[in-house]
């Protein structure tokens, strides 16, 4: 009776370990999906390859998946990203400038140059 229980526990532990390793190696892929990474499929395939290369690729896959974020891309830009409000404000200023210049050209006046 105890032999059967021990065998059952051993089989259960083996199954949990097997599926646990698979779930663990899907973590970089899940990160990539969550961040809408452009290389999701490559990260997923490399995760499976990592299972057969004794997990040598897995830390690099984690880094690769974490590098990209949808709001800032790869994050290597040196300038400050502009938000929607600043872009809308700049667009409004440009429209006012175009209207002013069109008004001056219709009146026959030469547009003013600002420096």
**Reported pTM:** 0.61
d(CA 65, CA 36): 10
Q: Model confidence at 112, in pLDDT bands (50, 70, 90)?
A: low
Please state the domain extents for the chain: 1-74, 82-115
Give the residue-averaged pLDDT of 81-91.
80
Contact call for residues 65 and 32 (beta carbons, < 8 A): yes
Query: Across-strand partners of 73?
Result: 69
Q: For residue 94, give both structure tokens.
A: 């440009």
The span from the first CA to the last CA of the chain, in angstroms, equals 94
43: Cβ contacts below 8 Å, ≥ 6 apart:
28, 29, 32, 37, 61, 64, 65
Q: What is the DSSP string of 89-101?
A: HHHHHHHHHHHHH
């Amino acid at each position: 009776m105890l032999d059967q229980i021990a065998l059952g526990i051993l089989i259960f532990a083996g199954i949990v370990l097997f599926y646990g390793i698979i779930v663990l190696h899907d973590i970089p892929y899940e990160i990539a999906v969550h961040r809408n990474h452009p290389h999701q499929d490559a990260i997923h395939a490399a995760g499976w390859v990592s299972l057969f290369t004794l997990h040598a690729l897995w830390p690099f896959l984690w880094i690769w998946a974490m590098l990209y974020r949808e709001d800032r891309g790869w994050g290597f830009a040196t300038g400050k990203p502009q938000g929607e409000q600043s872009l809308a404000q700049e667009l409004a200023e440009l429209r006012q400038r175009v209207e002013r210049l069109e008004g001056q050209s219709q009146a026959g006046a030469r547009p003013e140059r600002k420096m």
